[in-house]
Structure 1
Amino acid sequence: MSEKIKLLLAEDEPSLGQIVKESLETRNFEVIHALNGEEAYELYVKEKPEILVLDVMMPKKDGFTLAKEIREENNSIPIIFLTAKSQTKDVIDGFQHGGNDYLKKPFSMEELIVRVYNLLDRVSLKRNLEKIPIGEFTLNYEKQKLYYKNDAELLTHRECELLYYLIEKKNEVLDRTFILNKLWGNDDFFNARSMDVFISKLRKKLKKDPSVEIINIRGYGYKLTC
């Protein structure tokens, strides 16, 4: 049997936490369950998990605060937020606090498991990438930094992943539906609005080099030209 994947689950509702824990343990995961944000941080430091599944609304320390603290020392560990909130602002806040994915309650275990494996696959494929040139910029995926000459700017996980896919399809159209399903999980209205916000942020970060531009291809997606 392959080595178990260590996952930290922070969920303050004991019954839901137990269901998720037991379901994941049948899929070759070693699950460490914390009942609040402070306990989750202590277990993160002690156990060194490979992926985090964090409830947003927790006692002692909420999921967003916990993720922000973890991101200050670890830019690469995948983080999935679990929450009953579903407004566009809540989704955007989750990504801005370092989340890679956002699963709305109630959710199916199959959906959670698929998203966990997708994130682990992406991290595994990209963790050893060298710096990627784009015009006068260089993207370091591993460190989530965008370099311009001697200046470096730290990107959020969502910004880094979106820019990576744009660069991968440089001078071609990045299909809107594809990237929404790939990075956001589905192409509903709220996720589409969230992606538009991230595209705007990337445009601002790239404006130092006039030769690099993200073009909106109406009805299809986006094209990064260089």
Structure 2
Amino acid sequence: MKNNENILKELKVLFVEDEVNISKLLKDAISDYFFSFTIANNGEEGLEKYKKINPDFIITDIMMPKLDGLDMTKEIRKENETIPIIVLSAFSDKEKLLKAIDIGITKYFIKPFDPDELLEYLVTIASKLNKSRIICLNKHFTFDNNTNNLFEDEQLINITKREKSFINLLIKNKNNITSSDELKETLWENEEVTDERVRTFIKRLRKKTSKELIKNISGQGYLISVDNI
């Protein structure tokens, strides 16, 4: 599996499954091959973790509490039409299979499934992913959107998890201005955050990087300087 490890080791998996035994089985079987393997216990949690970790693959059960796998997939497809989504389900009836295909499921595995067979399938589609991992922000700075690592002239910059999320958010928004309110909601979630705290946060990041990297649009929000998004 050496070549497979090379293909998968930078990729992130989100596994959405409410049955603890199945989650543990799959994590134990294949998680070591990936950069990260994140588990969510239902569709609502799956959506939350999808937005936080930006996975390369999603593997999901269909029948789950709160939000099932197909409804979760519908929500994800509204903003990402290309991410591979693999369904694991005990249901083998044609109606659910057709519905899954109709909303953009990439592959359908019937439980009980063989983890090695699933792994081989992930290797196959990983080799076909047309995904630009390294984003050139300017002539000095690059960002790896799999690991959320920032580099200056190929040297890793030590930034916090929140700073990584901030840069990732600006890149996702591309040429659109990201408002202070969106930053507060995304980076601090349920915390009460002042405008001054946001400005201090960005000032510290600029000290680690460059004044030119993060642009302040007066009274509106922030943009990132990007060469190739």
Sort the TM-score into its range (normalised by shorter chain).
Answer: 0.5 to 0.7
Superposed displacement of residue 122, structure 1: 2.7
Task: Say whether residues 1:111 and 2:112 are aligned partners.
Answer: no
8 Å CA contact 1:53, 1:81 repeated in 2: yes
Superposed displacement of residue 29, structure 1: 4.5
Q: Deviations over 1:111-162 (max 9, x none)?
A: 111122222223338xxxxxxxxxxxxxxxxxxxxxxxxxxxxxxxxxxxxx
Distance 1:55 1:118 in 2: 21
Q: How many residues align?
A: 127
Partner of 1:34: 40
Distance 2:32 2:53 in 1: 20
| AA matched with 1:15 | N
Report matched runs for 1:72-221 at 5 Å. 72-124=78-130
What SS does the aligned partner of 2:33 have? coil
What CA RMSD, in Å, does the superposition of the two structures yield over aligned residues? 2.1
8 Å CA contact 1:6, 1:51 repeated in 2: yes
Distance 2:35 2:65 in 1: 25
| Identity across the alignment (%) | 34
| AA matched with 1:34 | A
Partner of 1:56: 62
| AA matched with 1:13 | E
Distance 1:77 1:122 in 2: 12
What SS does the aligned partner of 1:82 have? strand
8 Å CA contact 2:13, 2:34 repeated in 1: no
Distance 1:104 1:64 in 2: 15
| AA matched with 2:87 | F
Q: Relative to structure 2, which stretch is displaced further, 83-92 or 39-48?
A: 83-92
8 Å CA contact 1:78, 1:123 repeated in 2: no
What SS does the aligned partner of 1:123 have? coil
From 13, 16, 20, give the equivalent of 1:7. 13
Superposed displacement of residue 98, structure 1: 1.4
Distance 2:95 2:124 in 1: 24
Q: TM-score, normalised by structure 1?
A: 0.53
Superposed displacement of residue 21, structure 1: 1.2
Task: Say whether residues 1:43 and 2:46 are aligned partners.
Answer: no
Q: TM-score, normalised by structure 2?
A: 0.52
